[in-house]
Amino acid sequence: MKLASLPGLVLLVLLSSPATAQQTGSWGDQGDGTYRNPILNADYPDVDVEQVGDTYYMISSKQHMSPGMVILESKDMVNWTSIGHVWKRLDWAPEYDWDQMNGYSFGVWAGDLAYHDGTWYCYQIDFKHGLYMSSAADIHGPWSTPVQMLPTEKVFDDPAVFWDDTAHQAYLLCNTGTKQRTERDGKGGNENRLYKMSWDGQRIEDEGTVIYRGTGAEAAKIYKVDGRWYFLIAQWFQKKGELRDRKQVVLRSKTDSIYGPYENKIVLERGNGFARSCSQGALMQAADKSWWYTHQLIQNIDSPFQGRPQCLEPVTWIDGWPIIGQDVDGDGIGEPVRQHQKPIKGFAINAPMTDDDFSQSRLGPSWEWNHNPRDSHWSLTERPGWLRLKACVPIPKDQYAGSKDQVFWRACNTVSQRIMGTTVGSAVAKFDLSSMAPGQQAGFVRFGGQFHLLGVEVEDSMKKHLFFMNHDGTKLIGPEITTQILFLRTRNLADQARFEYSTDGETFQSFGPEFTLVFGSWTGDRLGLFCWNENEEAGCVDIDSFRYDYDGPKATR
């Protein structure tokens, strides 16, 4: 698929028209009282949702990105905006720091968000370091220093918590994999273990009880509905001759005890035209008592280049079971819906903020750094209205402990945000090159499983030239840049992308080959700004603006 094949009308409408608060597209809020799945068509995996009053709060993991565990809010379950993060820095392990850059694929994994007795709690399991918890009086923070509740030797991933006010007992359920298995009873799969937790939510009080085992069983959530306990768990299934499918399972207690016994039922599976598996999310309830479920699309397709987006499904309770989506084929299991009436009407179309003129005193919550940034080497105040990135020397290759050893992966202070949608997009940034120094390289990068970048490199003579670099470090040298202002743009049609440049922001020229966007390290493609100097810590680049247009709902300031 070539970018040149993009229909002119689509390009005109989606990439050139000014954004409005009511912009719609092929997904999300349709502006007519309905929505189309996905509702949040970007890399927002592993979510949990907590409702307080009439507002829904969502968290989503993003591994080594810093700050960690993004928080979003919504009034209608369809339109979500980013409001902050739980952890300003991933400071519980040194490999996430700017001088190590060795946390790819790890860091913040799936978490659980809870609100109890006026306090917010967030739990997550870093696969390399164990179960952590932070708390806050306000969802916007500040959040407490993370407390380790279990070591990595005992837990695998995906915690869920519940405060049972009737019994005055708190619980935590998580996937311990095979890490605590002491007997070989022929039963395979992950063990999901239920622990008693202290009422203040900070300590585990027993050795835990195995509640469920299953192939890849994880991502548990705990609910109590009409006196019955329900555990939602995602699990892999495969019948002979069929593709493997990650389905949503519900465990339902037969008594009023949280320890069971439990019976289980599959309540959501792939279907209705969705190629990707559908599971792992959270139940929500509207004011009219209707039930809804948000879940991710799993990455089990050839090119999940944008990562794992969120879908919203209606939930119908049948014989005490929450059937998710619509039972299209009549087998008693729900399939995801394509388009549906919104749960709550009357709220404006919205989305996470993508555009930025860098006029605020803080970076917007859509921006995240590749590992913890070097805070002395970036600023929004040294030149008000501009983001300044100061060049650092990348970690020397012979001193780098990670497996991703190309220079981009070893260079700190890359800041980026998620791509939106899978159809078409165009992002442009305005750079001032006047403060760059010899040896410095800075520009625009797209990265996920691989990286491709377009930038400017300064020679010893102070001449500047354009360059393109691909994921194996191959560099294509471009023309000399004689202007101080440079616009860099990237466009994509599905998973095919390319870079362009301009000196006036109006007429753009393509440079470098077309390339394929790739999912990897549990991360979808991202749009980023980079800056490094392989010779010395000298030079900086200023970015005046960033604009991103795509096929879908868009926020405006």
Q: How many CB atoms lie within 10 A of CB 438?
A: 16
Tokens of 488: 């860099």
Angular region, 90: left φ>0, alpha ψ -120 to 50, beta rest: beta
136 class by beta-carbon count within 10 Å (0-12 exposed, 13-18 middle, 19+ buried): middle
Cβ atoms of 415 and 466 closer than 8 Å: no
493 class by beta-carbon count within 10 Å (0-12 exposed, 13-18 middle, 19+ buried): buried
User: From the candidates 29, 43, 46, 544, which is the catalytic residue?
Assistant: 46
Task: Measure the CA–CA gap between 171 and 445, rounded to whole angstroms.
Answer: 43
User: Does the annotation count 288 as an active-site position?
Assistant: no
User: Does the annotation count 46 as an active-site position?
Assistant: yes
Closest CA to 37 of 223, 271, 262: 271
Query: What strands, in cross-sheet order, belong to the sheet with 451-458?
Result: 65-66, 368-370, 415-418, 526-533, 440-447, 451-458, 464-469, 475-481
In three-state form (DSSP H/G/I as H, E/B as E, the rest C), the secondary structure along 66-92 is: ECEEEEEEECCCCCCEEEEEEECCCCC
Closest CA to 489 of 477, 474, 504: 504
User: From the candidates 73, 95, 97, 218, which is the catalytic residue?
Assistant: 218
**H or E element, residue 410:** helix 407-410
Q: How many CB atoms lie within 10 A of CB 33?
A: 10
Cβ atoms of 268 and 331 closer than 8 Å: no
Task: Measure the CA–CA gap between 396 and 146, rounded to whole angstroms.
Answer: 31
Q: What is the DSSP string of 320-331?
A: TEEEESB-TTSS
Q: How many CB atoms lie within 10 A of CB 127?
A: 15
Task: Measure the CA–CA gap between 72 and 79, rounded to whole angstroms.
Answer: 10
Query: What strands, in cross-sheet order, belong to the sheet with 169-177?
Result: 157-164, 169-177, 190-197, 209-214
- Residue with the two structure tokens 């040294």: 382
Closest CA to 169 of 146, 201, 132, 134: 201
Alpha carbon separation from 75 to 21, 29, 294, 299 (Å, rounded) = 16, 13, 14, 28
Q: Where does 127-217 show beta strands of DSSP type E?
A: 130-136, 147-150, 157-164, 169-177, 190-197, 209-214
Cβ atoms of 132 and 124 closer than 8 Å: yes
Residues annotated as catalytic (active site), given as ranges: 46, 218
